[in-house]
Every structure is written in structure tokens, then in C-alpha cells.
Amino acid sequence: MFLHSPLKFPKKKLEIMTDLKAALQEQADAVEDVLDRLLEEPEGPEAQVVKAMRYSALGGGKRVRPFLVVMSSRLFGVSDSSAQRVAAALEMVHCYSLIHDDLPAMDDDNLRRGRPTCHIAFDEATAILAGDALLTRAFEVLAHEDTHADPKVRCELVAELAKASGMNGMVGGQMIDLMAESRDLDIPEITRLQRLKTGALIVFACKAGAILGKTGEVKRHALRNYGHDLGLAFQIADDLLDVEASVEETGKQVGKDADRGKATFVSLMGVERAREQAHILSEQACKHLEVFDKETELLRAMAQYVVNRRS
Amino acid sequence: MFLHSPLKFPKKKLEIMTDLKAALQEQADAVEDVLDRLLEEPEGPEAQVVKAMRYSALGGGKRVRPFLVVMSSRLFGVSDSSAQRVAAALEMVHCYSLIHDDLPAMDDDNLRRGRPTCHIAFDEATAILAGDALLTRAFEVLAHEDTHADPKVRCELVAELAKASGMNGMVGGQMIDLMAESRDLDIPEITRLQRLKTGALIVFACKAGAILGKTGEVKRHALRNYGHDLGLAFQIADDLLDVEASVEETGKQVGKDADRGKATFVSLMGVERAREQAHILSEQACKHLEVFDKETELLRAMAQYVVNRRS
């Protein structure tokens, strides 16, 4: 009875959040090191494109996706060094998508992670090439034997990351987003858009551990579902931040959706219902983790974190 | 003695060129079919990006790279169906690079293969995404088990294509090209630029057969060298066409290098020496094929063709 005292729970929760932040930082540092090594500047004038790649891929971001790769991998006893290479490849894909999304022909953003976007710091041509080269390098890293001893696993990682990021995944979602500028979407349509645009990479991050650990369908499916709900909660929280947070907090332009008159979860549902929905999804995400007998505390804490973050 | 009569040889050469053109057309049709199947339009508004991918990847081009993949594969008894998937993936990468190179921020071209470039026919944002998705799809196709039964071979294809097309390959070459706008390059620098920018993918095309056929270093190296010399000959011929051919013949803008005051093989060596150099490289390419006891007539004919083509 004493264990369930009202004072005990909030303290425990606070401790877990402290653990989460420490683990998130630890993995952010680890993926930074791996990216640093994988993006080595060559001799010759082509070093310029690698400078732009490094500018956009290093030194920033919450590194939520790398964290998810490493934590899902630990559930199956996969080595951190293996998981961190997959995490770095995934982060390269994420960063390439940010570079291209920020281009004048796309979202035309000049601020990202509190710094000028890649095409502002360099130029448009270099930014296009830097994005292209990050995407390409990601697949090279996954296919390399250092990522996993079993080539079948490596092929699966390549195929799954390609699916998640290509025409039926992230790029498809970005296309829907562009098409939506001429017509407002409804909630099911926005849900589908976000499932492709941001959800697919988050789902890949969560499934990566299952692929590396060669686990069965049940656990793989559980991680997929966790990633699905987490991804949607993450996006709704992002829409809320665009309405409620400041440039200083987020390090990027805010209020852009409203300025463009673009339909979002928040514009369609209202702030309160959107926040509620994000919390429901966060709890639902945690439920999927119940099939694991192993420690899933940090993954559950992450589901809390994504809906409560201020940046 | 009669066999070496001066009349006999030109006739034989003409026959081989006819055979080459038939084989080139046959493989162009085959890769077109494979690309058509691999670039299926999805339901939903994201179909738009696939329309742009199909616009740029289907219905055009000489398909030199696919031809090289299939012919190098036949040297090792690799099935055409396997080789044609690799050929299609490579052609996706080639087409993505053309879409991005043609963008206003890059070469700002409005004509390609006799038709408006992708960003003219669609818009810039869609063209950027179409390029991204073609690159991504290429790796997905290579990693799929239909490409080769052995996952180690598939991983090697992914890694080698990524190397050839990324920051130390094609994208690196494109970056050098952009940097060259502020400073004229000399012949060794242009050679290196072209080895990366166009040579690396042609070398991959030639090596692909050796990878699929799991052959030893000697034969793989011979194909690499053949591809290296062929690629350079191809590029010099391209520079010559930019000076000598018409828009109608090439289906793209000509005279652009001179308009930009850009140093090329032709501007540095003169038309005659450049043409001579192209023919020397073409002959040198054929020499590398002597290690094969199998029929390499079409690959040798291709080395002739690239320096004599009018488009």
C-alpha cells in the first residue's frame, strides 16, 4: 500500500525522466562520434560537399531516432556498435530530408536547429548535393559488414530503410504535403500524410532492433506498433509546438503552418483535443511494449517525453 | 590470305555495328519494361512524384549503362533477368542525377532527351523529390532477393553503387564541377572530375557482371579498366558533341560549356587532339578485354560506338 502513495509515483517518474535524458544524451554523443567518422572529408575540391554534409548532420538535433534504434536493439542483445551504425545511417537519411525540405523550392526555411539552413550557410546547389550524398552514404553504411555479420540482415536493413524513406514512405508523404497546399486535408488524410512523412522513419528506428536481432514476428510487430503510435504522438506534439513554442525554444521558425493556412492536427482538432490525442497515443504506444519481459522503461519514458517536450 | 582482304574488314565492322545497335535496342526495351514494373504508381496524391519519376526514367536515353551491365553479366553466365534488375537500379541512379543536375540551382537546363526537363514538366519541388525517390528505389531494388539469391552479392552491389554515386563518386564529381566555375581546371583535374562525375557509374556498370558472377580479381579488374577507359572516351565524345552537334541530334542544349567559358577536354586540347585521344582510349578499353576467352565483340563494338556516336 505504501508503494502506491501519491508522493512515491511522481518522484519515480521524475527519476525515469532524468535517466531518459542521460540515455538520450549518451546516445546523441555516440551517434555524433560515428557520424564524424563516417563523414570523413576527402582531399580535393569535392571536400566542399562533405563540409555541407557535416554541417547538417553533426552537432545538433535531439537524436530521437538513433536512441530508438539503440534501445530497440538492446532488447535483443544486439551490440551498441552495430546498432549505432544503423542509427547513424538513419540519421543521415533524416538529415538529408531536412536539407531538401528546407530548400527554397520546398519549405523555404532559413533556420534549423538554431543555425542557418544548409542552403543559406553554403548555397542551393551544394545543399542539393549534400542531401543526395547523405542519402547515398546511408545505404553504403548499412551494406558494410561492420554493420552486421549476416549479409541477409544488412540487405533487410537496406530494403526496409529504402521503403521507409522512398516514394511509398517519407518522400511520398512530402509529396502529399506539397499537393495539400492547393486543398485542405481532413484528419484521416493528415494522419496518412504524417504516417508516411515522419512516421515511417520512426517505425524503421523501432523495427531496426528486431531486424538486427533476427527476432520473430510478434516482437517485431510490437515494435512496429509502438513506433507507429509514437510517431503520430511526436507529430501532434510538433504541431502543438509550432503554435505554442518560441523560435528560441525550438531553434526553427514557428507559426509557419498557420501563416500558410495549412491544415494540421491542431488546426482541425483544436489545441486541447490535439494534446489529449497525443497523450492517448503515447499511452497506447507503451501498451505495445507489454510483450517484452525485458526492461522497456526508457522506451516508455520516450513515449512520455515526445508529447511533453518544449523543443 | 583472302580473309584479310581489304574489302572484308569494313564489311565485318559494319555487321558488328548493326549487331550492336540491335543488342542496344533489345536491352533498352528490356530495361524499359523492368523500370515500368518497378515504378508502379501508388494510389493517393503521392502518385504525382511517381509520375515525375516515370517521366524522367522511362522512354528515352541510349541506355548505355544497362547494356554494359547485361553484357558484362553474360560473360559469367549470369541470367539476364538478374542483370536487368541491376541495370534498372543503375539507370534510376543515372536518371536521378540528370533530374538534379538540370535544376535551376545546378545546370539550369530546360531540355533533356528532346523533352522539357523534369522541373519544367512538373515543378522544382516535385523534381527534387522525384530524384530523391529514384535514388532510394535503386537501393531497394538491389537489396531485394529477386536481384540475386546470395545476400552477400546484393550487399556488395549496394555498397559499390553507393560508392560510385556518392560523395567519393558521382556527387563528388558534380561538386568539383560546381567549384570549377570560379577557376579553370587543367587536364589532370578535368580527368579526375570526369572519372568521378560520369566515369564511376560506367565503371560500376562494367563491374556489375563480375560482382553478380562472383568472379576473381583478374577479370573484375579487367572490366574495371575497360569501364574506366570507356567512360573517359565517352566523356570526351560528349564534349565534342557539345561543340559539333545540334540540339536536334542530341536532344539537349549544346554549346553550353563554351557559353559558360568552362574548360573541357575540347577547349584544352583542341578538337583534333581530343578526337584522337577518344579513339586511343577506345582502343585501350578493348585491350583490357583480352583476358576473356568468351565473346566480347559487342563490348568492343560499344567502345567504338561511344566515340563515333552523333547523339
Domain of B233, CATH number, reads 1.10.600.10
Nearest to A117 by CA among A58, A166, A55: A55
From CA B35, how far away is CA B53, in angstroms rounded? 10
| Arithmetic mean of pLDDT, B246-263 | 72
Neighbours of B67 (CB within 10 A): 25
A247-306 pLDDT tens trace: 777 777 767 776 777 788 998 999 999 999 999 999 999 999 999 987 899 999 999 999
Answer whether B181 touches A (CB < 8 Å).
no
Query: What is the pLDDT at residue B243?
Result: 87
More confident residue, A272 or B180: A272
| Arithmetic mean of pLDDT, B27-33 | 97
pLDDT band of residue A311 (cuts 50, 70, 90) is confident
Answer whether B120 touches A (CB < 8 Å).
no
Query: What is the span of the domain harbouring residue A19?
Result: 15-308
Query: What is the pLDDT at residue B5?
Result: 44
Q: Which of B48, B90, B155 to mutate to test the interface with A (most CBs of A within 10 A)?
A: B155
Contacts of A131 in chain B (CB under 8 A): 132
In a domain, A284, yes or no: yes
In a domain, B10, yes or no: no
Distance from CA of A182 to the nearest CA of B (A): 12
Of A42, A131, A143, Cβ closest to residue B172? A42
Contacts of B165 in chain A (CB under 8 A): 136
| Residue linked to cell 583542341 | B270
Query: What is the pLDDT at residue B11?
Result: 57
| Arithmetic mean of pLDDT, A48-59 | 96
A214 DSSP β-pair partners:
none
More confident residue, B48 or A263: B48
Share of chain B above pLDDT 70, in %: 95
Cβ-defined contact of B158 to A158 (cutoff 8 Å):
yes
In a domain, B1, yes or no: no
pLDDT band of residue A1 (cuts 50, 70, 90) is very low
- Collapsing DSSP to helix, strand or coil, B103 comes out as coil
Answer whether A171 touches B (CB < 8 Å).
yes
Q: What's the pTM value of the predicted model, to 2 decimals?
A: 0.94
In this predicted complex, what is the ipTM? 0.93
Residue B35 in grid coordinates: 523500370
The DSSP-derived string for B154-185 is HHHHHHHHHHHHSTTTHHHHHHHHHHGGGS--
From CA A243, how far away is CA A267, in angstroms rounded? 9
In a domain, A1, yes or no: no
Share of chain B above pLDDT 90, in %: 80
Neighbours of A95 (CB within 10 A): 26
| Arithmetic mean of pLDDT, A100-110 | 96
Dihedral sign for Cα B128, B131, B137, B139, please: negative
Rg (CA), chain B: 19
pLDDT at B2 over 50: no
Query: What is the pLDDT at residue B255?
Result: 72
pLDDT band of residue A44 (cuts 50, 70, 90) is very high
Query: What is the pLDDT at residue A11?
Result: 57
* Distances, alpha carbon A123 to alpha carbons A117, B126, B185, B268, in Å: 10, 20, 21, 29
pLDDT at B6 over 50: no
Of A151, A168, A178, Cβ closest to residue B125? A178
In a domain, B2, yes or no: no
CA angle in degrees (0–180, nearest 5) for B61-B153-B60: 5
In a domain, B3, yes or no: no
B102-161 pLDDT tens trace: 999 999 999 998 899 999 999 999 999 999 999 999 999 999 999 999 999 999 999 999
Mean pLDDT, chain A, whole residue set: 92
- Count of the separate structural domains present in chain A: 1
Residue A306 in grid coordinates: 515526445
In a domain, A113, yes or no: yes
Contacts of B140 in chain A (CB under 8 A): 158-159, 162-163, 166
From CA A194, how far away is CA A133, in angstroms rounded? 25
Query: What is the pLDDT at residue A294?
Result: 74
pLDDT at B4 over 50: no
B218-242 pLDDT tens trace: 999 999 999 999 999 999 999 999 8
Nearest to B99 by CA among B119, B113, B115: B119
More confident residue, A112 or B96: B96
A21-25, A109-113, B253-257, B297-301: segment of lowest average pLDDT: B253-257
More confident residue, A102 or A6: A102
In a domain, A8, yes or no: no
